[in-house]
């Protein structure tokens, strides 16, 4: 190969890789820019905290923000303990090739691929009707918990498995019991990975629309209990954009709030994860 | 001699405890430390998923001695160590058969309290395995787990072991800093301190110096020598010069067709100067292994 064609090949490869990477960033920046352009002027503290009026064309998103927080709170409150427990069971209490472990992993993979609208129908049938919870924040939160469990369990299991065998062996060699080992060594060591999984799950829960339409409902009043129906931010955006003529400005502003929340959660968890790692590994 | 055959056994002519010793391979007759058996293995075999890793080991380790386990990789030395504190239980489909006694305790019995056994048998691994928190917490954790909660006793225990491993002056001002910030040699000494803080009877070291630089390695080695007489020390090492410098007894392992065997066991002097088995002689001289 001549020197020149080698040069062309090298520069060509570099250019293609740069282009690919840039094209990934462009849609993201476009989206944020579009949201800011259309939503920023409608955004204010009173928008964030006041109640919607005129089907959401006017007023704010206070009750909707509250409902979202409650739904996500129920979801994570149920999913995190269950997910951690299952992940610990899979990584610490069963062999990797155990039948039950394989069954759980297989079903999680299937669950992770189920479309959210199917989760919505399932949640409606199980929580709203069979268990009699009706259209409520509780039904919505529980449905979301089913949805984020696969993400939580798989990331948590991977974080536990990434801990070196020597750490477990040396803990056992010191006569530490299994619960102590989990509490004092495995959980802290897996924490950065757990936070990443938690953030992914949280993000999915915050952004979910389809599964909530059938479970937590449409009501945009301030919820008084977990048994009240409540509208989430994503459902509100969907409703304003699709069903309410003239709802677009507020839809953009709401979307801006939602994306802002997700960004804050992401930044916060990666800050904790780095801080956690550096706390334990910074040269003394 | 056919090297593929399992270890030949020689019966010492006159020995009061002939019943047990009859099974020992090339047992030397002049113990250097307390001639009191601390650990006795009879026909100890270890298999992983049906594959034998170690076959019919018969060995009597004296209290307070430093016993080095030498031999090429994959001949079952680490497996032998891990059977002594039953870490083999944590390995999937690992089967340990035969008899293993530590003093009067039947190590392999189902009823043996593993947490107590492991408290009595400290273990250090090849790579330093400090836990991802502070130096103080690394040492406090095993103490608290085994029932010491009194602040004064915790502090004095920590200070004592850190002095014992020569780490006190290096870390006394940063006990609450992350242990992973220490150098490799310091980490390994901290691991040693963490094992010693439980006042074990037996200390097992699995190639403790192989991941360290020569200077740290020398410090850890001196430390191991200083343990002689206080603890029964078993050390796996690939460094024959090190084994010669520090060990009272040597157990030489060799793998026959993938199965580890104890070939020869005796005082370091015997093994290095007048080995009885030609494989040992070849390994010591560097001709094999």
Task: Say how far apart CA B52 and CA B70 lie, in whole Å.
Answer: 19
In A, what residues contact B, Cβ < 8 A?
95, 164, 166-177, 180, 184-185, 188-189, 279-284
Q: Do A175 and B181 touch (CB under 8 A)?
A: no
3-state secondary structure of B65: coil
* Contacts with A, B 146-175, CB within 8 Å: 146, 174
Which pLDDT band, with edges at 50, 70 and 90, does B132 fall under? Answer: confident
**Average pLDDT over all residues of chain B:** 84
What backbone phi and psi angles, to 5 degrees, belong to B21? -65, -20
What residues does B200 pair with on adjacent strands? Answer: none
- Using a 10 angstrom Cβ sphere, with 0-12 exposed, 13-18 middle and 19 or more buried, the burial of residue B100 is buried
pLDDT for B261-282, tens place per residue? 999 999 999 899 988 888 898 8
Answer whether B184 touches A (CB < 8 Å): no
pLDDT of residue A58: 86
3-state secondary structure of A226: coil
pLDDT of residue B18: 33
Shortest Cα distance, chain A CAs vs residue B241, angstroms: 27
pLDDT for B185-214, tens place per residue? 899 999 999 999 999 999 999 999 888 888
Strand ranges, E, within B80-182? 94-102, 105-106, 121-124
When CB atoms are compared, the residue of B87, B194, B195 closest to A172 is B87
Which sign, positive or negative, has the C-alpha torsion B161, B167, B168, B173? Answer: negative
Determine the residue of chain B that is closest to A97 in CA distance: B92
Determine the residue of chain A that is closest to B177 in CA distance: A284
Which pLDDT band, with edges at 50, 70 and 90, does B34 fall under? Answer: low
What residues does B122 pair with on adjacent strands? Answer: B203
- Tell me if B71 sits within 8 A of B254, measured CB to CB: yes
| Residue contacts between A and B (CB atoms, under 8 Å) | 81
Shortest Cα distance, chain A CAs vs residue B168, angstroms: 15
Q: What is the pTM of this model?
A: 0.79
Q: Which residues of B touch A185 (CB under 8 A)?
A: 131-132
pLDDT of residue A25: 93
Written as six digits, the tokens of A241 are 């954009």
When CB atoms are compared, the residue of A95, A171, A176 closest to B92 is A95
Question: Locate tokens 């030397």: which residue?
Answer: B28
**Count of beta carbons in the 10 Å neighbourhood of residue A274:** 11
Task: Say how far apart CA A50 and CA A53 lie, in whole Å.
Answer: 9
**Count of beta carbons in the 10 Å neighbourhood of residue B52:** 17
Geometric angle at alpha carbon B220, from B217 and B223, rounded to 5° = 150
Q: Which residues of B touch A182 (CB under 8 A)?
A: none
pLDDT of residue B73: 87
pLDDT of residue A218: 86
Question: Locate tokens 């009750």: which residue?
Answer: A63
pLDDT above 90: residue B47:
yes
3-state secondary structure of A58: strand
pLDDT above 60: residue B166:
yes
3-state secondary structure of A240: helix
pLDDT of residue B40: 92
- Tell me if A216 sits within 8 A of A229, measured CB to CB: yes
CA distance to A89, A193, B13, B197, per residue, from A160 (Å): 10, 8, 56, 28
- CA R_g for chain B: 19
pLDDT of residue A239: 92
pLDDT above 70: residue B8:
no
pLDDT one digit per residue (tens) for chain A, 284 residues:
678 888 889 999 999 999 999 999 999 899 999 999 998 988 889 898 998 988 888 888 999 999 999 999 999 999 999 999 999 999 988 877 788 888 999 999 998 889 999 999 999 999 999 999 999 999 999 999 999 999 999 999 999 999 988 899 999 999 999 999 999 999 988 888 899 899 989 998 998 999 999 999 888 889 998 999 999 999 999 999 999 888 888 999 999 999 999 999 989 888 888 887 776 654 43
């Amino acid at each position: 190969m001549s020197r020149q064609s080698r040069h062309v090949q090298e520069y060509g490869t570099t250019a293609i890789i740069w282009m690919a990477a840039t094209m990934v960033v462009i849609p993201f920046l476009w989206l944020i820019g579009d949201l800011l352009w259309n939503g920023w002027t409608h955004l204010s503290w009173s928008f964030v905290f006041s109640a919607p009026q005129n089907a959401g064309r006017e007023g704010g998103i206070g009750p909707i923000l509250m409902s979202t927080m409650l739904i996500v709170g129920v979801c994570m409150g149920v999913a995190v303990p269950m997910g951690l427990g299952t992940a610990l069971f899979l990584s610490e209490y069963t062999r990797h090739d155990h039948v039950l472990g394989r069954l759980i992993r297989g079903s999680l993979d299937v669950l992770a691929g189920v479309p959210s609208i199917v989760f919505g129908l399932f949640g409606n049938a199980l929580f709203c009707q069979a268990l009699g919870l009706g259209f409520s924040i509780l039904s919505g939160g529980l449905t979301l918990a089913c949805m984020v469990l696969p993400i939580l369990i798989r990331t948590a299991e991977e974080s536990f498995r990434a801990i070196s065998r020597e750490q477990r062996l040396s803990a056992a060699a010191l006569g530490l019991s299994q619960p102590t080992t989990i509490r004092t060594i495995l959980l802290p060591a897996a924490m950065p990975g757990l936070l990443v999984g938690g953030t992914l799950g949280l993000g999915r829960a915050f952004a979910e629309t389809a599964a909530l339409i059938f479970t937590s409902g449409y009501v945009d009043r301030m919820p008084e209990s977990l048994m009240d129906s409540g509208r989430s931010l994503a459902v509100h955006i969907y409703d304003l954009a699709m069903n309410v003529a003239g709802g677009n400005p507020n839809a953009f502003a709401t979307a801006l709030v939602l994306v802002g929340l997700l960004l804050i959660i992401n930044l916060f968890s990666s800050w904790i994860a780095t801080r956690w790692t550096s706390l334990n590994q910074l040269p003394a | 001699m056919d090297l593929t055959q399992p270890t030949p056994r020689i019966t010492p002519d006159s020995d009061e405890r002939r019943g047990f010793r009859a099974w020992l391979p090339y047992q030397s007759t002049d113990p250097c430390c307390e001639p009191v058996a601390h650990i006795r293995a009879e026909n100890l075999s270890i298999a992983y998923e049906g594959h034998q890793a170690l076959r019919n080991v018969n060995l009597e380790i004296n209290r307070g001695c430093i016993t080095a386990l030498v031999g090429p990789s994959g001949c079952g030395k680490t497996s032998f160590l891990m059977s002594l504190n039953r870490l083999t239980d944590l390995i999937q489909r690992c089967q340990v058969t035969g008899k293993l006694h530590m003093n009067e305790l039947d190590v392999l019995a189902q009823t043996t309290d593993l947490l107590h056994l492991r408290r009595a048998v400290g273990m250090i691994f090849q790579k330093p395995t400090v836990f991802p928190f502070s130096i103080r917490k690394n040492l406090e954790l095993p103490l608290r787990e085994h029932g010491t909660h009194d602040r004064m006793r915790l502090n004095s225990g920590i200070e004592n072991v850190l002095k014992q491993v020569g780490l006190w002056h290096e870390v006394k001002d940063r006990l609450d800093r992350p242990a992973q910030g220490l150098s490799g040699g310091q980490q390994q000494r901290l691991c040693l301190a963490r094992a010693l803080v439980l006042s074990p009877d037996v200390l097992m070291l699995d190639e403790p110096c192989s991941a360290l630089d020569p200077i740290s390695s020398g410090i850890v080695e001196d430390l191991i020598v200083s343990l002689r007489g206080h603890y029964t020390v078993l050390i796996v090492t690939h460094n024959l010069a090190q084994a010669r410098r520090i060990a009272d007894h040597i157990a030489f392992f060799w793998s026959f067709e993938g199965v580890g065997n104890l070939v020869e066991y005796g005082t370091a002097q015997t093994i290095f100067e007048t080995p009885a088995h030609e494989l040992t002689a070849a390994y010591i001289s560097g001709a094999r292994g």
